[in-house]
Structure 1
Amino acid sequence: MSLHALANKYRYFVRNAEPDKVVLECSGVNCQWRVYATKIKGCPRFEIKTLDSNHCCTVSERGEFRRHATSSIVGGMMRSKYVGTGSGPRLGALREMMRTDHSVPISYWTAWKSWEIAIENGRGNAEAAYSTLPSYLQQLAVANPGTLVALETSKGPGSVQCFKYLFLSFGASQKGFDFMRKVVIIDGTHLKGKFAGCLLTASAQDGNYQIFPIAFGIVDSENDQSWTWFFNKLLVVVPDSAKLVFVSDRHTAIYSGIRRVYPMAKHCACLLHLQRNVQTIFKEKHLGYLLGRAARAYKVEDFYLHFNELKVVDGACADYLIRVGLEHWARSDFDGARYNIMTSNLAESLNAALSEAREYPIVPFLEYIRSMTMGWFS
């Protein structure tokens, strides 16, 4: 009835409401519009018994029809736009649609609540998605042979099992990694849904310099326990080796996890993150350029040519970079093969590709990852 009132621009009120019947009347003073409906036995639906559909209310009285545009009604109207893995309209676009299509201006707060309701109606309840997660992972593993899934729970209130960690690596990713250069880019990014958390990713670069996803993890936050758990699961997919190289930002939990789980592998820092740190700490604009020249040099003599120039500009910055460890950021001092991969930009691009889905409930989010990865591999 609210949708009908919005479409035909009138306002009604509930004259009488009981479990088995309802009476609605137009809010116009002398308007005769009236609906009488009763509940059908054995069915949740109502049947209209009496309807006087003629309106004789004034234009000013009809102008109150906008009050029917509550968040629950608008969310129900927009539900179909959020079904599946596609992205629905954002808040600004949602407000514009209501204004142009329905002549109803809504506030930002109403749009926000409507957006939450539309997502929940279209993609499922965020809390309920966790209860369907085990069956979804089981079906995923059956449909994709060789896929590795791991789900860890913890005891919550009343001994209820609560979600803690998730690991996912598709069988196709594991087979393909055998033919990749053994440089793994790892990164973590925040999820934007109701229960937040972090997405951990491990990826490589294929022969066309494109992103090759290896594994995904969902954890509470980037800490020592979560990263160590993720690396222990990744060890099954990516064995430890002296020829293996990890590239990441300088997060202490990542450093700690790699030392524990991958003692033979080499680890180097993302040059871009290091340049940003230097820029933030030492302020000099030219330092980032000199750092990049020194880091990318292949020969030791070329490295010191640029590094000494940086040292002349800011000796404190040079001391900072030495404390970081030349073997972590300078290609000439790195004891391993990192090839052309000097940054973790590849992982940042993967995070960007998943940006819109990071607010989905967990099962639609995993389905988005599966669909996207399948499309890329295809």
Structure 2
Amino acid sequence: MELTITNDNTSAGSSGSLKLLDMPCSPAIEEYKSEIIIESTQTAIEEGQVYQDKQTVAAGMKHFSVMHKFQFRVKRSSNRSYWLVCVGENCKWHFKAMSINEYAIFKIRSFNRQHTCSLIDETFIQRNHTAAVVGSMVIPKYCDPKTVYTPKDIQTDMLSEHGVNLSYMQVWRAKEKALRFLRGNSADSYSKLPKYFYILEETYPGSVVKLKKTADECFLYAFVALCTSISGWQHCRPVVVVDETFLKSAYRGIILTASTMHEVGTILPLTYVVVDSENDASWKWFFEQFKQAYGERPSMCVVSDRNESILKVRASTDHIHTVLHALRHMNETYENHCSPYYTRESLLRTYEIPVNPLHPPTGDKRQPGRPQKERYKTYDAIKSKKYKVSCGNYGGEGHNKRSCKNAPKKKLISCS
């Protein structure tokens, strides 16, 4: 049996309907089926209202307490009752909700909204899971990935619209909870990588995706090369630019990229690899997978920032050359020669396979402490020599001539 319940008191933008599948017909259900509330953002909570379950009642009261700036504590909570009282001593405010018969539907039996204690607006934010409540209120702001809605915006809107003054850390947690509700947990997204790679291979046949794990089945490396890039590489100049940058996700890491440039000067991405750190093992695995995906081409040139790990890998790899040949065995002169990579046909063949984006799971776990703003220094940057300040008076280090404490004293000239 399928029963559809419609609610006329839900907030704007909600359908207000609830489908109960295979639920036996009961007089209690028939009596309240047109009054059941499924939204936890009810602005008006009255005695006699019926909610679909206990979780909706609890979330609605948390939302109600934030809007009216007061605190409550749970006196009794079970699968059949939900009893709240004010945190103030001898305050008569209370809220009672009970289940109807033995079903999950809860009805407000008693609700005294009058406080007999002195309320302090600034103290309510310490209880009642304020971040979770505010996060549920700002979820619609993050439905569009192009929308930029910062914690400062949440703080300003809550103060102007609801008169609630929240700290920056509270609105930051509210944003994180809203993003987690929409995008899921970043730790769980790693277990979805095999499914994501399977979809890539099914959607774009000929793509090369590799996933390497540690001995205890933890993520280590991931390699992605789409079939479009593999096909277009054959019509581009044999010049590969490799680079790396750090990631700002929940578990950090390094992303290694390889790209080339076709005849009109536009960059064509070839592959990207996510690794744990920039070291000899990760770069070696990167070039091994690149060779398997793209093969070997004569006189291929690799452009890099001369990282020590890259130099070690290039020195041990025979198929990578550091310079391009200069038409040594051709009868044509250099000035009259035009490479086939600059022709219109090569450009069209480079992009003959279309690519549609697939949105991968994004991390949203916040690391403890202040957010990282500067790039993590590599081993080469730490090992490099730094500029030392020296003094112009006697050549000492650590200070300059202006701040030198051993500078000769100047004689004062009297005007008498």
| TM-score in terms of structure 1 length | 0.61
CA distance in 2, matches of 1:26, 1:146: 64
User: How far did residue 79 of structure 1 move?
Assistant: 3.7
Q: Which of 104, 126, 131 does residue 191 from structure 2 map onto?
A: 131
Q: Summarize the Cα distance change of 1:222–1:110 in structure 2 as closer, same or farther, 3 Å threshold.
A: same
Residue in structure 2 matched with residue 76 of structure 1 by the alignment: 136
Moved more, 137-146 or 104-113: 104-113
Kindly report the root-mean-square deviation, in angstroms, between the aligned alpha carbons of the 2 structures.
3.4
Query: 1:122-181 deviations in whole A, cap 9, x for unaligned?
Result: 21111111112111210121012221110111122xxxx111110001111222222222
Residue in structure 2 matched with residue 121 of structure 1 by the alignment: 181
Is 1:228–1:261's contact at 8 Å kept on the other side of the alignment? no
Q: Indicate the SS of the match to 2:214.
A: strand
CA distance in 2, matches of 1:196, 1:47: 44
CA distance in 1, matches of 2:229, 2:100: 54
Q: Summarize the Cα distance change of 1:171–1:71 in structure 2 as closer, same or farther, 3 Å threshold.
A: same
CA distance in 2, matches of 1:129, 1:359: 6
Residue in structure 1 matched with residue 153 of structure 2 by the alignment: 93
Is 1:193–1:359's contact at 8 Å kept on the other side of the alignment? no
Q: Summarize the Cα distance change of 1:207–1:138 in structure 2 as closer, same or farther, 3 Å threshold.
A: same
Letter in 2 for 1:47: F
Q: Which has the higher contact order (CA 8 A, sep 6+)?
A: 1
CA distance in 2, matches of 1:26, 1:116: 29
CA distance in 1, matches of 2:147, 2:267: 22
Residue in structure 1 matched with residue 267 of structure 2 by the alignment: 211
Residue in structure 1 matched with residue 362 of structure 2 by the alignment: 360
User: How far did residue 59 of structure 1 move?
Assistant: 8.1
Q: Summarize the Cα distance change of 1:128–1:359 in structure 2 as closer, same or farther, 3 Å threshold.
A: closer
Aligned residues between the structures: 271
Q: Which of 198, 204, 207 does residue 147 from structure 1 map onto?
A: 207
Higher helix share: 1
User: How far did residue 242 of structure 1 move?
Assistant: 3.6
Give structure 2 stretches of 5+ with no counterpart: 1-60, 325-338, 342-358, 365-416
The answer to whether the aligner puts 1:231 opposite 2:287 as a matched pair is yes
Q: Summarize the Cα distance change of 1:74–1:253 in structure 2 as closer, same or farther, 3 Å threshold.
A: farther
Q: Summarize the Cα distance change of 1:70–1:58 in structure 2 as closer, same or farther, 3 Å threshold.
A: same
Residue in structure 1 matched with residue 218 of structure 2 by the alignment: 162
Is 2:100–2:107's contact at 8 Å kept on the other side of the alignment? no
Q: Indicate the SS of the match to 1:35.
A: strand
Is 2:239–2:303's contact at 8 Å kept on the other side of the alignment? yes
Could you say which structure has the larger radius of gyration? 2
CA distance in 2, matches of 1:88, 1:220: 29
CA distance in 2, matches of 1:143, 1:101: 46
Q: Summarize the Cα distance change of 1:85–1:260 in structure 2 as closer, same or farther, 3 Å threshold.
A: farther
User: How far did residue 232 of structure 1 move?
Assistant: 0.8
Q: Summarize the Cα distance change of 1:361–1:23 in structure 2 as closer, same or farther, 3 Å threshold.
A: same
CA distance in 1, matches of 2:236, 2:77: 67
Q: Indicate the SS of the match to 2:303.
A: strand
Residue in structure 1 matched with residue 107 of structure 2 by the alignment: 48
CA distance in 2, matches of 1:248, 1:84: 37
Matches within 5 A, 1:1-378: 1-27=61-87, 33-38=93-98, 47-52=106-111, 54-55=113-114, 60-61=119-120, 64-67=123-126, 68=128, 70-83=130-143, 85-86=145-146, 89-156=149-216, 161-261=217-317, 263-266=319-322, 360-361=362-363
Letter in 2 for 1:204: T
Letter in 1 for 2:259: S
Is 2:236–2:260's contact at 8 Å kept on the other side of the alignment? yes
Q: Summarize the Cα distance change of 1:6–1:173 in structure 2 as closer, same or farther, 3 Å threshold.
A: same
CA distance in 2, matches of 1:174, 1:125: 33
CA distance in 1, matches of 2:148, 2:93: 36
Query: 1:275-334 deviations in whole A, cap 9, x for unaligned?
Result: xxxxxxxxxxxxxxxxxxxxxxxxxxxxxxxxxxxxxxxxxxxxxxxxxxxxxxxxxxxx
CA distance in 1, matches of 2:100, 2:267: 57
